[in-house]
A and B are shown apart, each in its own frame.
Chain A
Amino acid sequence: MTALLEVRGLVKNFPVNTGVFGRPKSFVSAVDHLDFDLHEGETLGLVGESGCGKSTTARLLMHLVAPTAGTIRFEGRTVGTSELPLKAFRRQVQMVFQDSYASLNPRLTVAESVAFGPLVHGVSRDEAAARANSLLERVGLDPARFAGRFTHELSGGQRQRVNIARALALQPRVLILDEAVSALDKSVEAQVLNLLLDLKEEFHLTYLFISHDLEVVRFMAARVLVMYLGRVAELGATEALYTGSRHPYTTALLGSLLSMDPDHRAESAPIAGDPPNPIDPPAGCRFHTRCSFAEPVCSSRVPVLTPLGSAHSVACHMSEPGSGHGCAPQRAA
Chain B
Amino acid sequence: MTGVAEPVLDIRNLRVTFTGGAKPVNAVDGVDLSIERGEVVALLGESGSGKSVTLRSILRLHPAKRTRMEGAIHVAGTNVMALEGGALTDFRGKGASMIFQEPMLALDPVYTLGEQIIEAILRHENISTSEARRRALDWFERVRIPSPERRLDTYPHEMSGGMRQRAMIALALACNPKLLLADEPTTALDATVQVQILLLLRDLQRELGLSMLFVTHDIGVAVEVADRIAVMYAGRIVEIGSVRDVIRSPRHPYTLGLLSTRPHGGRLSGNRLPTIPGSPPDLANLPPGCAFAMRCALAADACRIAAPEAVEVGPGHQARCVRTAETARPAGAPAGVSA
Binding site for B on A (CB under 8 A): 49-50, 155-158, 185-191, 193-194, 197, 212, 214-216, 218-219, 238-239, 242, 252-253, 256-263, 265-266, 268-275, 277
* CB of B161 closer than 8 Å to a CB of A: yes
Question: Contacts A187-B261, A242-B266, A258-B223 hold; do A268 and B199 have CB atoms under 8 A apart?
Answer: yes
**Is B224 an interface residue when CB atoms closer than 8 A count as contact?**
yes
Question: Which of B46, B196, B224, B268 has its CB near the most chain A CB atoms (within 10 A)?
Answer: B196
| CB-based nearest A residue for B268 | A219
Q: Which of B162, B257, B279 contacts A273 (CB 8 A)?
A: B162
Query: B300 at the A/B interface (Cβ < 8 Å)?
Result: no
- Contacts of B252-275 to chain A: CB distance below 8 A: 257-258, 261-266, 268-269, 272-275
B163 contacts the other chain (Cβ, under 8 Å)? yes
* B220 lies within 8 A of chain A by Cβ: yes
Residues of B within 8 A of A (CB): 46-47, 160-163, 190-196, 198-199, 202, 217-221, 223-224, 243-244, 247-248, 257-258, 261-266, 268-269, 272-277, 279-280
Inside 8 A of B46's CB, which chain A residues have their CB?
Answer: 185-187
Residues of B within 8 A of A189 (CB): 261
Closest to A239 in B: B266
A197/B272 contact (C-beta < 8 A), A49-B191, A189-B261, A265-B224 known: yes
Query: By the criterion CB–CB under 8 Å, are B223 and A261 in contact?
Result: yes
Instruction: Note all chain A residues with C-beta closer than 8 A to B223.
Output: 258-262, 265
Distance between B144 CB and nearest chain A CB, rounded to angstroms: 9
Residues of B within 8 A of A185 (CB): 46-47, 217, 280
Interchain CB contact under 8 A, B263 and A215: yes
| Contact of A274 with B269 at beta-carbon distance under 8 Å, contacts A155-B279, A190-B274, A212-B190 already known | no
Residues of A within 8 A of B47 (CB): 156, 185
- B192's partner among A239, A271, A277 (CB-CB below 8 A) is A271
Give bound CA distance, A261 to B257, whole Å.
17
Closest B residue to A215 by beta carbon equals B263
Nearest-neighbour CB distance to chain A for B179, whole angstroms, equals 23
By a CB distance below 8 angstroms, the chain A residues around B217 are 185-186
Report the minimal beta-carbon distance from A276 to chain B, rounded to whole angstroms: 9
- In the complex, A36 Cα to B174 Cα: how many Å? 49
User: In the docked arrangement, what's the CA distance between A286 and B136, Å?
Assistant: 34
Which of A186, A187, A218 is close to B269, meaning CB atoms less than 8 Å apart? Answer: A218
Q: Which residues of A lie under 8 Å from residue B192 when comparing CB positions?
A: 49, 252-253, 256, 269-271, 275
A215 near B273 with CB under 8 A, answer no
Q: Which residues of B contact A187 (CB under 8 A)?
A: 46, 257-258, 261, 275-276, 279-280
A231 to B191, CA, bound (A): 18
Q: Which residues of B contact A214 (CB under 8 A)?
A: 191
Chain B residues with Cβ below 8 Å from A268 are: 199
Show 10 A/B contacts (Cβ-Cβ < 8 Å), sorted by A: A156-B47, A194-B273, A215-B263, A219-B268, A253-B191, A259-B223, A260-B264, A261-B223, A269-B192, A274-B190
- Enumerate chain A residues within 8 angstroms of B198, measured Cβ to Cβ: 266
Which A residues are CB-close (under 8 A) to B244? 262-263
In the complex the two chains form, is A269's CB within 8 Å of B191's CB? no
Residue on B nearest A194 in the bound complex, by CB: B272
Contacts of B274 in A (CB 8 A): 190
Assembly CA distance A70 to B257 (angstroms): 46
Which chain A residue shows the least CB distance to B162? Answer: A274
> Is B161's CB under 8 angstroms from A256's CB?
no
* A190-B190 Cα distance, complex, nearest whole Å: 22
A191 adjacent to B269 (CB under 8 Å): no
Q: How far apart are A318's CB and chain B's nearest CB, in angstroms?
A: 19
Task: Report the bound CA distance from A190 to B274 in whole Å.
Answer: 7
- Inter-chain contact A188/B258, CB cutoff 8 Å: no
A258 to B261, CA, bound (A): 16
CB-CB under 8 A for A186 and B261, given A239-B266, A256-B194, A259-B223? yes
Report Cα–Cα, A186/B258, bound state, in Å: 7
> What residues of A have a CB within 8 angstroms of the CB of B264 in the complex?
215, 260
Instruction: Tell me, in angstroms, the Cα distance from A175 to B277 when the chains sit together.
Output: 25
A153: shortest Cβ distance to chain B, in Å? 11
Minimum CB–CB distance from B276 to chain A (whole Å) comes to: 4
**A85 CB to nearest chain B CB (Å):** 37
A219-B269 contact, Cβ under 8 Å, with A269-B196, A269-B199: yes
Within the complex, the shortest CB–CB distance from A86 to chain B, in Å, comes to 33
Quick one: which of B160, B219, B243, B263 contacts A219, CB cutoff 8 A?
B263
Contacts of B161 in A (CB 8 A): 50, 274
Minimum CB–CB distance from A132 to chain B (whole Å) comes to 22
Query: Once bound together, how far apart are the Cα atoms of A265 and B203, in whole Å?
Result: 13
| Neighbouring A residues of B275 by C-beta, 8 Å | 187, 190-191, 194
Contacts of B261 in A (CB 8 A): 186-187, 189-190
Q: Chain B contacts of A262 at CB under 8 A? A: 223, 243-244, 247-248
Note all chain B residues with C-beta closer than 8 A to A193: 263, 273
Measured CB to CB, the nearest residue on chain A to B274 is A190
Question: Given A187-B258, A193-B273, A256–B220 Cβ distance below 8 Å?
Answer: no
Q: Kindly identify which residue among A158, A191, A215 contacts B262, using a CB–CB cutoff of 8 Å.
A: A215
Which of chain B's residues have a CB closer than 8 A to the CB of A260?
Answer: 219-220, 223, 247, 262, 264
Indicate the member of A50, A186, A239 with the most B CB atoms within 10 Å.
A186
User: Of B160, B202, B248, B262, which one neighbours A274 at CB under 8 angstroms?
Assistant: B160
Report the nearest A residue to B273, measured CB to CB.
Answer: A190
The listed residue with most B CB atoms (<10 A of its CB), out of A214, A219, A268, is A219
A219 touches B195 (CB 8 A): no
